[in-house]
Chains A and B, each alone.
Chain A
Amino acid sequence: MDRKTLSAAFSVTIPVLMGYLAIGIAFGLMLQEIGYNFIWAFFMSLSIYAGSGQYLGVTLLSTCAGLGTVALMTLLINFRHLVYGLSMLEKFRGMGWRKLYMIFSLTDETYALLASAQAPAGVEPKRFYFAIALLDHSYWILGSVIGAVAGALIPLDTTGIDFAMTALFIVIAIDQWQSCSKHLPALLGTGATAVFLIGLGALWGQQQMLLVSLGVIVLALLLLRERLDPSQPGEEDLPC
């Protein structure tokens, strides 16, 4: 990759550098706290590469969740990627071998950059996109390894660091609430989980009830489709 492309991509990715280092460090600290060192952090960030997905992964590892639960929870938290992919079909066309990596590395932040960034004059757009994706991925790996190493080396009381995950989900929820015209899906998710997970979890185990909550939510959304689906064409491509 030539220097010009790399430096053009670097200047675009600086905000993601800040964000990924911070969120990645918190991830590394949480992982270290549940007993997995920087080698685990490195391989998780290299192979999974998903912010909220890996935060959830810390909980799945610490609660020794079964592989079925792991698969289903990962699927649901990443469901939004389906929408991202749909709007990148055109952009990734003709990228050859790099396309596979572009699809793998399509995180929220990379998606946001690719959706808006324009390659400067003299820089080939496809290489520019690839450089953005590659830089973002390396920031994420770097941040999580720094976090895990710091958690192991610095005698820091990290009790309560796991709240970073709750905070991240609250932030995403607020952003979604403000960008959606209909709040029923969010209220439904809150209500169903409160009833089934908190209310009945003590009786039948929270791991099982989480899956039950999910089933109830999907079923209710399917039943409410007529109410929630926009009648005007054109609105259907907007997220939520």
Chain B
Amino acid sequence: MLTPASAAASIAVMAAVTFLTRALPFLLFDRGERPPKLVLYLGRVLPPAVIAMLVVYCLRTTSFSSPALWVPQAAASAAVVFLHLWRHNNLLSIFGGTILYMVLVQAVFS
């Protein structure tokens, strides 16, 4: 675990960078000029690529060496996809998948 000072430093960096990403358009383009095409292009294509990267990153500990290391992830991910395509309700999809995952890791594959 990080020391409290390092954890506070990490949180300060997250806060500063988050604010910067929100403030940048106002700092650069509030006088009416068009943003560069390259910035608009990256603003459009980067988010889906980064979110896909994070999904893979979250599932990185999955392993096929034992069912306990892949069945809960696979079943819960499939449940999230199914619930979301079915109802399009963020809360239902997130909590449905998470509860299934918790039941699987705590009770079925413990």
Contacts and interface: CB of A to CB of B under 8 A. Distances in A.
Interface of A: 18-19, 22-23, 26, 34-36, 40, 43-44, 47-50, 52-54, 56-57, 59-61, 64-65, 67, 70-71, 74-86, 88-89, 92-93, 99, 103-104, 106, 157-161, 163-174, 176-177, 180, 182-183, 185-190, 192-194, 197-198, 201, 206, 210, 213-214, 217-218, 221, 225, 228-229, 236-240
11 contacts: A22-B91, A40-B11, A48-B11, A70-B17, A74-B13, A79-B43, A86-B40, A167-B80, A189-B50, A198-B56, A218-B42
A61 B54 CA distance: 16
B101 A160 contact: yes
Contact of A48 (B14, B29, B98): B14
B15 A48 contact: yes
Interface in B8-57: 9-15, 17-26, 29-30, 35, 37-57
Given A160-B106, A170-B80, A236-B37, A85 B25 contact: yes
A75 B73 CA distance: 27
Contacts of B30: 89, 93
A206 B60 CA distance: 9
B17 A71 contact: yes
Lowest 10 A-B CB distances belong to which pairs? Answer: A85-B25, A189-B52, A189-B49, A160-B102, A163-B101, A166-B58, A78-B21, A193-B56, A47-B15, A74-B17
A23 B29 CA distance: 33
Interface string B90-102: 1101110110011
Given A18-B91, A88-B25, A228-B45, 6 more contacts: A71-B17, A82-B25, A170-B97, A173-B48, A185-B48, A189-B51
Given A53-B18, A74-B13, A171 B84 contact: yes
A106 B38 CA distance: 23
A201 B18 CA distance: 27
B21 A86 contact: no
B22 A168 contact: no
Contacts of B106: 157, 159-160
- Chain A binding site: helix, strand, loop or mixed by DSSP? helix
Contacts of A49: 18
A74 B14 contact: yes
Contacts of B21: 74-75, 78-79, 81-82
Given A76-B50, A169-B58, A70 B105 contact: no
Nearest to A35: B1
B43 A217 contact: no
B54 A56 contact: yes
A218 B30 CA distance: 26
A141 B61 CA distance: 30
A201 B48 contact: no
B26 A190 contact: no
B55 A78 contact: no
Nearest to A74: B17
